[in-house]
Structure 1
Amino acid sequence: MDRAGAEIYRLPEECVAYAISLTTPADACHSSAVSPTFKAAADSDAVWSRFLPHDHAAVLARSDEPVDCESKKELFSRLCNRPVLLDDATMSFGLDRRSGAKCFMLSARALSIVWGDDPACWIWTTSVPGSRFPEVVELVNVCWLEITGKLSLSLLSPGTTYAAYLVFALADDSYGLECNVGILPPKATVTVVSGRKAMATTTSTEHTICLQHMQGEEEMVMHRRKQQYMRLRKDYGRKLLTREADPDIKCPRRRGDGWVEVEMGEFAVAGDAASGEDGVVEVSLKEVDCRRWKRGLIVQGIDIRPRHTS
């Protein structure tokens, strides 16, 4: 080891901690293996206080149960591994391990679901394995599917690009949710209203989603090809129509907790770390074609977390 390399081990722990705090949570963990001095600095509250959101204490004050941790590093790890429930289990709060950005999940109870209070259309179920929340809602019978969730932008981490995901499962007796030829799939819309009322700006994105064909399965190929279907004409004759499939349709994928998720869209949160951005993000799923009845969609909630490009 050269002289310059040896000198770094003589730096005061406070200086090492400050330097490590300017890196990332992953770098801080790796620094622990360098030397005892680096380990002490990398595990210190001075480092992990920089990685925790500045308003984490205010968010945790809304927790349904106390969150007791002996150190800031332990708290960071706890929020990455086991998000806490807030506001009577209508929302969960956690952290992204790579960036420390805040993650929120809206429970089914926090969503606006058309006919969600009608037991002939939807039923509420408790004690579902793997669910983050004590209740989920299951579709019994509707011909029109519409689900909407809203979250204040001030709760999210500034300068972060987020993606929203519908988290769900399908019952064994589900029907009417397939992306059949000739049936238009539902649309997912993400609308962001940012800024104060007098100067608020609105941005919106929309794309189609599929609820049944999993990513990686052969069935997904049908969404990438030209589709043909028959439609009745007004004179009761039949006409062969051609529809170009949407190459950007979002298909579901399996989560680590056993549930399924499908991306509903992405959005960016501007601002700086000192103050949250005014406004709200609204995420919705709406059907375009309501000609068929459907059953068996089990909704846990809408997950909003940072999007990673790699």
Structure 2
Amino acid sequence: MGAVTSSLDSEHTSTSPTMQAKSNLHLFEEIVGQEIPAHEGTTRADETLVRGTGIVLANRKKYWVDNENKNCFKILATDLSITWGDDTRYWKWEEESDAGTTIKVAKLLQVCWLDIFGYLEQWYLNPEVTYEVSFEVKLEKGASGWSEPVEVGVTSADGVPQKSSVYLPQVERGKWLQIKVGEVKSQPGRTGNVSVFLRKATPEWKKGLLIRGITITPKK
């Protein structure tokens, strides 16, 4: 069964002129530049935020670094592929604060076919560092339809898959939790995506699950 651990919403400024020297953070300019194409130059204010509460990239990903300056990411719910996610009969989108920034979370109203998928460019991760991949979810107190385990999995850029099952009724309700999916280790020069999924298709109607996103952070 997949591991489930509690998440304490603690993942994680002054303004300065445009940076003259290249940042020592891994691929800092490339990440900010690719995720926000309209961004004109990288500022020290950006790097200050990345070292603190983090920055939201084009409403798709949250990017910050830990106390060892290693890249951390959250693939936000708005950047996930969620079956029926745009159908208001099945899903609702709500705004909330996430460690100092406002993001949208996906709230499941009712669905039989649960299928959620997301990915991150693996080269964004620091080379030779093992990362933990987790879904960040919350079960409401009135949630139902979770009598069977859900399947979670991650595939790294080298194509090696990891899969496990998680029994959601075992998790504490009304609290954001990290559901560990697996681990990946980025290699120098490796290109491709880290792909992550959570799914369950049964005749049983499921409701009361909130999705904040997928976190990819260095293993402690």
State whether TM-score is above 0.5.
yes
Q: Name the CA distance, whole Å, in 1 between partners of 2:163 and 2:92.
A: 29
Q: Counterpart of 1:156?
A: 125
Deviation by residue 1:226-267 (Cα, 9 ceiling, x = unmatched): xxxxxxxxxxxxxxxxxxxxxxxxxx799xxx6221111111
2:151 aligned partner? 187
CA contact under 8 A between 2:141 and 2:173: conserved in structure 1?
Answer: no
2:63 aligns with 93
Q: Percent identity?
A: 27
2:108 equivalent among 139, 148, 153: 139
Alpha-carbon contact 1:253-1:262 (below 8 Å) kept = no
Equivalent position amino acid for 2:62 in 1: S
Q: Is the 8 A contact 1:133 1:300 kept in 2?
A: no
Structure whose residues are more often helix by fraction? 1
Q: Does 1:166 align with 2:166?
A: no
Larger radius of gyration: 1
Alignment gaps of 5+ in structure 1 = 1-45, 195-201, 215-251
Report deviation, 1:175: 1.3
Which residue number corresponds to residue 193 of structure 2? Answer: 280
CA contact 1:211–1:262 (8 Å) conserved in 2? no
Q: The residue matched to 2:30 in structure 1 has which SS?
A: helix
Query: What's the TM-score, normalizing by structure 1?
Result: 0.56
Q: CA deviation at 1:49?
A: 5.5
Which string of whole-angstrom CA distances, capped at 9 and with x for unpartnered residues, describes residues 17-46 of structure 1?
xxxxxxxxxxxxxxxxxxxxxxxxxxxxx9
Shift of 1:187: 1.3
Report what 1:262 is aligned to: 179
Find the aligned partners of 2:102 and 2:128 in 1 and give their Cα distance: 29
Amino acid at match of 1:296: G
For the 8 Å contact 2:138–2:173, the answer to whether it is kept is no
More strand by share: 2
Q: CA RMSD in A?
A: 3.0
- What's 2:170 paired with? 213
Q: Equivalences for 1:23-102 in 2 at 5 Å?
A: 50=24, 52-53=25-26, 55-61=27-33, 62=35, 69=44, 75=47, 78-87=49-58, 89-97=59-67, 99-102=68-71
Q: Which runs of 5+ in 2 are unaligned?
A: 1-20
The answer to whether the 8 Å contact 1:269/1:277 transfers is: yes
Matches of 2:181 and 2:202, distance apart in 1? 19
Higher relative contact order, structure no. (Cα contacts within 8 Å, ≥ 6 residues apart): 2
Change (3 A) 1:153 1:297: same
Q: Distance in 2 between matches of 1:123 and 1:253?
A: 19
Q: What corresponds to 2:215 in structure 1?
A: 303
Alignment length, in residue pairs? 197
CA contact (8 A) 2:51 2:65 kept: yes
**2:152 and 2:120 mapped to 1: Cα distance?**
16
Is the contact made by 2:29 and 2:42 (CA closer than 8 Å) also made in structure 1?
no
Shift of 1:160: 1.3
Please, what TM-score do these two structures have when normalized by structure 2? 0.77
